[in-house]
């Protein structure tokens, strides 16, 4: 890519273009694929009826699952095409879906008990600004459930053009870097788990320090507690 680069606009265009591809695969990912353990993890921690924002909701299937599990779910995504697919999933207006950017969300301060952000912050130009916004929209003692791609994740190849000095809409933030950044923005690590590729067995990572477990992961899912107001 040459000339001026607008990360926000380029990301919107690229995700609009991937909406059909994503829509074909999202249900399987959430039901029995790489994301299958995320909703049970949230359900084990978050009281039913709580308000939760699914930021970077894509075609809305994860938001829909949260709604069916008894949460007051709201979805938001940068891509208009993704939001159109999310809205078409439901016959009734049971879930609010919004198009918008994580770095400037159209929600009041302290709007949600929890936020789910799965594979979102790796696709932001300024993850710190995004975390600041997530902190703002969470209620006091709110919870952030964030999924960050591990080193073994294929989608990380999207950041490769940066090695040639080119622009890309995927940053290189690793799970352990995100954990440190989250602490800088007043989030405390409470719990988490790794999703691993088929070749990585439990005995390979069991007993390792947290950062080494994350280093073997395809995805690390964090439960983070908001500190302060």
> In this structure, are residues 39 and 30 in contact, taking their beta carbons and an 8 Å threshold?
yes
Q: How many CA atoms lie within 13 A of 91 on its CB side?
A: 0
Q: What is the CA radius of gyration of the chain?
A: 17
DSSP state of 43: H
Tally of domains within the chain: 1
> In this structure, are residues 168 and 158 in contact, taking their beta carbons and an 8 Å threshold?
yes
In a domain, 1, yes or no: no
pLDDT reported for residue 21: 86
In a domain, 176, yes or no: yes
pLDDT reported for residue 2: 46
> In this structure, are residues 57 and 97 in contact, taking their beta carbons and an 8 Å threshold?
yes
In a domain, 21, yes or no: yes
In a domain, 210, yes or no: yes
Other residues' Cβ atoms within 10 Å of the Cβ of residue 91: 6
pLDDT reported for residue 1: 41
> In this structure, are residues 15 and 78 in contact, taking their beta carbons and an 8 Å threshold?
yes
In a domain, 75, yes or no: yes
Residues spanned by the domain of 194: 7-226
Residue 118 sits in a domain whose CATH number is 3.40.50.150
pLDDT reported for residue 103: 93
Single pTM value for the model? 0.94
Per-residue pLDDT tens digits of the chain, which is 229 residues long: 445 889 889 998 999 898 888 888 999 999 999 999 999 999 999 999 999 999 999 999 999 999 999 999 999 999 999 999 999 877 556 899 999 999 999 999 999 999 999 999 999 999 999 999 999 999 999 999 999 999 999 999 999 999 999 999 999 999 999 999 999 999 999 999 999 999 999 999 999 999 999 999 999 999 999 998 7
The CA distance from 14 to 7, in Å, is: 10
Q: Which residues of 35-66 are buried (b: 16+ CB within 10 A; e: fewer)?
A: beebbebbeeebeeebebbbbbbbbbbbbbbb
pLDDT reported for residue 229: 77
């Amino acid at each position: 890519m040459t000339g001026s680069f607008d990360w926000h606009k380029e990301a919107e265009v690229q995700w609009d273009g991937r909406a059909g591809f994503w829509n074909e695969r999202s249900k399987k990912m959430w039901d029995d694929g790489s994301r299958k353990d995320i909703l049970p993890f949230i359900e084990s921690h978050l009281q039913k009826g709580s308000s939760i924002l699914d930021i970077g909701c894509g075609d809305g299937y994860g938001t829909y699952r949260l709604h069916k599990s008894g949460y007051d779910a709201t979805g938001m995504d940068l891509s208009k095409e993704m939001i159109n697919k999310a809205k078409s999933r439901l016959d009734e207006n049971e879930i609010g879906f919004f198009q918008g950017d994580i770095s400037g969300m159209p929600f009041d301060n302290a709007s949600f008990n929890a936020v789910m952000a799965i594979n979102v912050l790796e696709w932001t130009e300024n993850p710190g600004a995004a975390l600041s916004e997530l902190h703002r929209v969470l209620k006091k003692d709110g919870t952030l459930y964030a999924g960050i791609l591990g080193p073994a994740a294929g989608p990380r190849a999207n950041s490769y053009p940066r090695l040639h000095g080119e622009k890309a809409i995927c940053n290189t933030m690793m799970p352990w870097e995100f954990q440190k950044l989250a602490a800088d923005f007043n989030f405390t690590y409470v719990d988490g788990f790794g999703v691993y590729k088929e070749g990585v067995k439990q005995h390979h990572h069991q007993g390792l320090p947290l950062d080494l477990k994350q280093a073997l992961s395809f995805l690390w899912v964090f439960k983070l507690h908001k500190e302060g107001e």
